[in-house]
């Protein structure tokens, strides 16, 4: 038995394998947002088609669902009916807001006319709000509690179950890390 | 029915391989000729069962038999037949099945070509190969079973990942990758056999080198094909991004390259046997590490570890194989008796050693950069990634050092050299170095690393051509004709040597192309209204409008951009932006026009729906187009080196005359 070879070999190999074992359950798609648990970046954005700017401050006291989306995004189209029906059903309990991500206002208006809506959709000039929230792609949805703190972030299209779970968090559950699509 | 048959075939492969592994190892241990025959037969059974299971799956995919779980998962009536066939390896379970047929093929071929050679090693080797085969059969029988029965088959399936359907390169890249990855099992088995046998003689280095070189060629081609695909499809203007999946294929390539060189030294001088063996073992283990890292990656979602049952299973195999290798090496390496000694650092031998050290350093550099994010997250719970700057900063000097050694090494004589010999060998190629640097300066290169790389490349190229032509020049000076001298000197007698230098020449071209394209390229982001023209360097680009192309699985917007260069019309290029039904983000498909010295590369950044305005990313990439044909040269050189020599008689006469008696294990106290 060559002890030098054994010790050197194990010294290289064992830590590497241990590292892999430790990371086995890791999901690289789960990107922690540093914003979760923090106060949501403020904004005041004009709705599509014009009108008074909607500001986050004016919505305090209610949970807010902030959905970044675009007309060119297929999964946004997929999750749209869920958001529309949830917003109708929950009425004033929860404020749903759409924020347009890298799109033309005219396209958005056409799209909304065709597919319907039940909550305001805001225009985000030069993506300032998207940048403040650290949006990396659409759809991305932020759940904000009545005190104006971000409690959860969802990447990718929402399903009903996830939406309800995150909403109950926003209504008073504990802050939780983001999750994967 | 088909599902049941498939499961039976996989069970047969599992039984044959696990039995064969035990029989082979036992036959090696007890020097049993009967056991060796049985192990060989079981190897053929394993290969046949895997081949049949694969054919069955292809048949089910073509027949769109959705009662087979894998077909229900990746099959589709919408896709053409060639896509149906390639979806064999487009998803996790199928890719492991495909691994099975490649492994079976390799094992059968390696067993058959050595059926009456190396009787003292082969049972151990077959046993080791079949142990690996047993693991993959087990994966297929359990965690990655592709042949589950679907009780109520769907009418149609979703089809494979669309990203893998959009380019022909994606059809050829995975098979090459598997031929490279899986092929490393063969040298692993041979090296394990040498360790188990406690002997690594010159006779056995020949098959070891051959079976190392073959997967190396495939792996090289696969890595470049992957880069080519990224370049042609992904639209960010480059071909290599140091992401974990790419690194996963690069790591075994580095160690295998080191092993090929170290094996030459072992063959010539009878030294570094343990080191060569270590590198061979490491190359195989790194392919398994890569498989672990990408196990769903390349196939399901591009760069990820996902939670699937197969991950822990591969990790158990990786850990077992790695720890076993370390123990085997430690227990047996002292049995390798060196037959010579290293002479002088100022010799080709010394440079071979340096080359090995740099390659191993390179391996650790890439490995650390790849796993470092895991370490940080495990220790501090913080997510991070190691970006290009780290890899580029490390890879440039290491690559330059390798290129330098590639010039100096072959210039030096074997053994020790006198000062006069050194001057004669090393000084003339400085002319090539000067030419390389001057050409770079004339082409506008100012970065010291680029100029240094070009100088080293000029040096290495001159040495390579000198060494390559040496046998012919010797024959010509003896009065032979040019053609006979070429045939005899390069293709018959010195073919392996000649092949090696052809590989070196190809590598020089690739390295030059990488150095130049990554430092001398230009790129510009344009916003063009319809009918507007912009100028980038020598090119005038006019945005004519867009076409909408609807296909079943995607909708594409293709921009028509008219291109002229120096006033000469070059036609219309059509970079596209495609929306796949199953993807969150649109995917751009760039348009590339290749000229002799540069590529014009157009990629759509954004398009408004009316088609009135185009955001266009324009790259002018020098020399990228040289990488692909140069890789062809490398592959050709590798083939020349690896094809069996035409002189069967001498091959037999090189066989050791040791009788099979007394071939049992080394004394057991050493265990």
CATH number at residue A82: 3.40.30.10
Query: In which residue are the tokens 């894998």 written?
Result: B70
Where chain B has pLDDT below 50, the residues are: 296-307, 648-671
Determine whether the interchain pair B375/A72 forms a contact, defined as Cβ–Cβ distance below 8 Å: no
pLDDT tens, B116-125? 999 999 999 9
Determine whether the interchain pair B374/A5 forms a contact, defined as Cβ–Cβ distance below 8 Å: no
Determine whether the interchain pair B378/A25 forms a contact, defined as Cβ–Cβ distance below 8 Å: no
pLDDT at B584: 57
Determine whether the interchain pair B305/A156 forms a contact, defined as Cβ–Cβ distance below 8 Å: no
- Whether residue A28 is contained in a domain is answered as no
- Whether residue A17 is contained in a domain is answered as no
Residue of B nearest to A155 (CA): B584
Q: Determine the Cα–Cα distance for residues B424 and A20; give it in Å rounded to an integer.
A: 51
Give start and end residues of each alpha helix (H) in B142-201.
169-183, 185-197
Pairing verdict, β A95-100 and A121-122: parallel
Q: Are A167 and A143 in contact (CB under 8 A)?
A: yes
Query: What is the residue-level pLDDT of chain A in tens, covering all 181 positions?
Result: 889 999 999 999 999 998 888 777 655 555 567 788 889 999 999 999 888 999 998 888 899 999 999 887 767 877 888 999 999 998 888 999 999 988 888 888 888 988 889 999 999 988 889 989 988 777 889 999 998 999 888 887 788 888 888 888 888 754 444 443 3
Q: Are B338 and B273 in contact (CB under 8 A)?
A: yes
Asked if B669 reaches chain A (Cβ–Cβ under 8 Å), the answer is no
Taking only residues 591 to 620 of chain B, the set having a beta carbon closer than 8 angstroms to any beta carbon of chain A reads: 606, 608-609
CB pairs under 8 A between A and B: 95
CA distances from B379 to A30, B243, B368, B504 (A): 18, 22, 15, 43
Determine whether the interchain pair A23/B377 forms a contact, defined as Cβ–Cβ distance below 8 Å: yes
- Residue A12 has φ and ψ, to the nearest 5°, of -80, -45
- Whether residue A22 is contained in a domain is answered as no
From the CA of B584, how many Å to the nearest CA of chain A?
A: 6
Pairing verdict, β B522-529 and B613-622: antiparallel
Beta bridge partners of B573: B561
Other CB atoms within 10 A of residue B163 CB? 19
pLDDT at B651: 42
CA distances from B222 to A18, A46, B215, B249, B400 (A): 30, 52, 10, 9, 23
pLDDT at B306: 40
pLDDT at B582: 56
CA distances from B598 to B169, B617, B624, B626 (A): 21, 16, 7, 9
Query: In which residue are the tokens 């969802």 written?
Result: A154
pLDDT at A34: 75
Cα B251 to the center of its chain, rounded Å: 9
- Give the CB-side neighbour count of residue B218, counting CA atoms within 13 A: 20
* Rg over CA atoms, chain B: 27
The DSSP call for residue B579 is E
Q: What is the 3-state secondary structure (H, E, C) of B87-104?
A: HHHCCHHHHHHHHHHHHH
Nearby residues of B390 by Cβ (< 8 Å), 6 or more positions away? B369
Of B312, B584, B608, the CB nearest to A137: B584
- Whether residue A99 is contained in a domain is answered as yes
pLDDT tens, B107-141? 999 999 999 999 999 999 999 999 999 999 999 99
pLDDT at B468: 92
Q: Closest Cα partner for B636 from B528, B501, B469?
A: B501
Angle in degrees, CA B651, B350, B363, rounded to 5: 85
* Rg over CA atoms, chain A: 21
Q: Determine the Cα–Cα distance for residues A14 and B464; give it in Å rounded to an integer.
A: 41
Determine whether the interchain pair B375/A26 forms a contact, defined as Cβ–Cβ distance below 8 Å: no
pLDDT at B585: 63
Other CB atoms within 10 A of residue B382 CB? 9
Asked if B323 reaches chain A (Cβ–Cβ under 8 Å), the answer is yes
- Whether residue A179 is contained in a domain is answered as no
CA distances from B112 to B39, B51, B122, B477, B548 (A): 12, 16, 11, 42, 55
Nearby residues of B362 by Cβ (< 8 Å), 6 or more positions away? B254, B394, B395, B398, B402
Q: Determine the Cα–Cα distance for residues B386 and A139; give it in Å rounded to an integer.
A: 26
Structural domain range at position A94: 33-170
Q: What pTM did the predictor assign?
A: 0.83
Q: How many domains does chain A have?
A: 1
- ipTM of this predicted complex? 0.83
Helix (H, G, I), strand (E, B) or coil at B419: helix
Encoding tokens for residue A21?
A: 């074992």
Mark out chain A residues that contact chain B at CB-CB < 8 A.
1-3, 5-6, 9-10, 13, 16-17, 19-29, 31-32, 71-75, 102, 104, 107, 137-139, 156-157, 181
Determine whether the interchain pair B371/A29 forms a contact, defined as Cβ–Cβ distance below 8 Å: no
Residue of B nearest to A3 (CA): B330
- Whether residue A150 is contained in a domain is answered as yes
Encoding tokens for residue B84?
A: 């149906």
- Whether residue A21 is contained in a domain is answered as no
pLDDT at A175: 43
- Whether residue A23 is contained in a domain is answered as no
Q: Closest Cα partner for B593 from B566, B553, B564?
A: B564
Pairing verdict, β A95-100 and A64-69: parallel
Q: What is the sign of the dihedral through the CA atoms of A9, A14, A15 and A17?
A: positive
For residue A139, say if its preceding peptide bond is cis, omega within 30 degrees of 0: yes
pLDDT at B372: 84
Helix (H, G, I), strand (E, B) or coil at A143: strand
């Amino acid at each position: 038995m060559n002890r030098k070879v054994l010790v050197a070999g194990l010294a290289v190999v064992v830590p590497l394998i241990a590292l892999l074992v430790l990371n086995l359950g890791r999901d690289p798609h789960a990107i922690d947002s540093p914003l979760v648990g923090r106060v949501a970046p403020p904004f005041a954005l004009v709705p599509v088609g014009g009108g008074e700017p909607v500001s986050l401050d004016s919505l305090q006291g209610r949970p807010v669902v902030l959905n970044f989306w675009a007309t060119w995004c297929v999964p946004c189209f997929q999750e749209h009916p869920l958001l529309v029906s949830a917003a109708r059903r929950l009425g004033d309990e929860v404020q749903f807001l759409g924020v347009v991500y890298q799109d033309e206002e005219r396209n958005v208006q056409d799209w909304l006319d065709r597919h319907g809506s039940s909550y305001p959709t805001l225009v985000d000039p030069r993506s300032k709000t998207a940048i403040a929230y650290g949006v990396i792609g659409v759809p991305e949805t932020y759940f904000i509690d009545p005190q104006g703190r971000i409690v959860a972030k969802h990447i990718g299209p929402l399903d009903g179950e996830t939406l309800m779970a995150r909403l109950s968090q926003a209504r008073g559950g504990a802050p939780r890390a983001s999750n994967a699509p | 029915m088909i599902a049941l048959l498939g499961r039976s075939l996989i069970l047969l492969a599992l039984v044959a391989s696990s039995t064969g592994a035990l029989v082979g190892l036992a036959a090696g241990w007890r020097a049993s000729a009967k056991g060796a025959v049985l192990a060989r037969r079981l190897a053929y059974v394993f290969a046949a069962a895997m081949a049949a299971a694969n054919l069955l799956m292809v048949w089910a995919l073509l027949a769109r038999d959705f009662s087979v779980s894998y077909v229900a998962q990746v099959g589709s009536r919408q896709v053409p037949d060639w896509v149906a066939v390639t979806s064999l390896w487009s998803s996790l379970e199928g890719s492991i099945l495909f691994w099975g047929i490649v492994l079976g093929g390799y094992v059968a071929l390696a067993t058959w070509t050595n059926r009456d050679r190396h009787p003292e090693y082969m049972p151990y080797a077959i046993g080791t190969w079949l142990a690996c085969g047993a693991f993959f059969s087990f994966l297929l029988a359990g965690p990655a079973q592709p042949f589950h029965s679907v009780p109520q088959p769907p009418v149609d399936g979703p089809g494979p990942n669309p990203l893998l359907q959009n380019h022909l390169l994606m059809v050829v890249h995975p098979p090459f990758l598997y031929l490279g990855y899986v092929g490393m099992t063969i040298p692993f088995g041979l090296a394990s056999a040498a360790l188990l046998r406690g002997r690594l003689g010159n006779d056995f280095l020949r098959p070891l080198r051959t079976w190392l070189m073959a997967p190396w060629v495939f792996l090289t081609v696969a890595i470049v094909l992957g880069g080519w695909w990224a370049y042609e499809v992904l639209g960010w203007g480059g071909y290599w991004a140091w992401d974990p999946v790419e690194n996963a294929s690069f790591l075994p390539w580095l160690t295998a390259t080191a092993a090929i060189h170290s094996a030459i030294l072992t063959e010539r001088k009878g030294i570094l046997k343990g080191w060569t063996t270590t590198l061979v073992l490491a190359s195989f283990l790194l392919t398994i590490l890569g498989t672990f890292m990408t196990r769903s990656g390349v196939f399901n979602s591009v760069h990820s570890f996902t939670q699937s049952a197969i991950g822990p299973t591969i990790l158990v195999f990786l850990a077992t194989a790695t720890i076993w290798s370390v123990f085997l090496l430690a227990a047996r390496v002292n049995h390798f008796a060196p037959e010579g000694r290293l002479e002088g650092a100022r010799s080709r031998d010394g440079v071979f050693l340096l080359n090995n050290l740099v390659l191993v350093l390179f391996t650790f550099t890439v490995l650390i950069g790849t796993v470092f994010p895991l370490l940080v997250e495990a220790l501090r719970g913080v997510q991070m990634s190691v970006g290009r700057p780290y890899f580029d900063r490390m890879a440039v000097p290491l690559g330059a050092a390798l290129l330098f050694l590639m010039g100096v090494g072959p210039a030096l004589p074997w053994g020790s050299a006198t000062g006069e010999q050194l001057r004669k060998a090393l000084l003339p190629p400085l002319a090539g170095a000067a030419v390389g640097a001057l050409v770079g300066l004339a082409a506008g290169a100012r970065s010291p690393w680029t100029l240094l790389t070009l100088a080293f490349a000029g040096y290495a190229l001159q040495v390579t051509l000198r060494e390559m032509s040496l046998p012919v020049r010797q024959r010509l000076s003896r009065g032979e004709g040019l053609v006979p001298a070429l045939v005899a000197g390069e293709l018959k007698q010195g073919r392996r040597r000649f092949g090696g230098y052809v590989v070196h020449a190809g590598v020089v071209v690739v390295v030059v192309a990488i150095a130049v394209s990554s430092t001398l390229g230009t790129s510009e982001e344009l916003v063009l209204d319809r009918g507007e023209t912009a100028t980038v360097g020598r090119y005038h680009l006019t945005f004519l409008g867009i076409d909408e192309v609807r296909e079943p699985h995607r909708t594409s917007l293709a921009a028509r951009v008219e291109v002229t260069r120096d006033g000469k019309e070059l036609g219309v290029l059509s970079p596209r932006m495609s929306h796949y039904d199953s993807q969150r983000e649109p995917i751009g498909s760039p348009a590339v026009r290749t000229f002799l010295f540069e590529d014009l590369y157009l990629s759509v950044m954004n398009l408004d729906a009316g088609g009135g305005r185009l955001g266009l990313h324009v790259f002018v990439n020098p020399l990228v187009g040289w990488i692909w044909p140069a890789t062809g040269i490398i592959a050709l050189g590798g083939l020349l080196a690896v094809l069996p020599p035409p002189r069967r008689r001498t091959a037999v006469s090189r066989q050791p005359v040791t009788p099979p008696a007394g071939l049992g294990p080394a004394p057991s106290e050493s265990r």
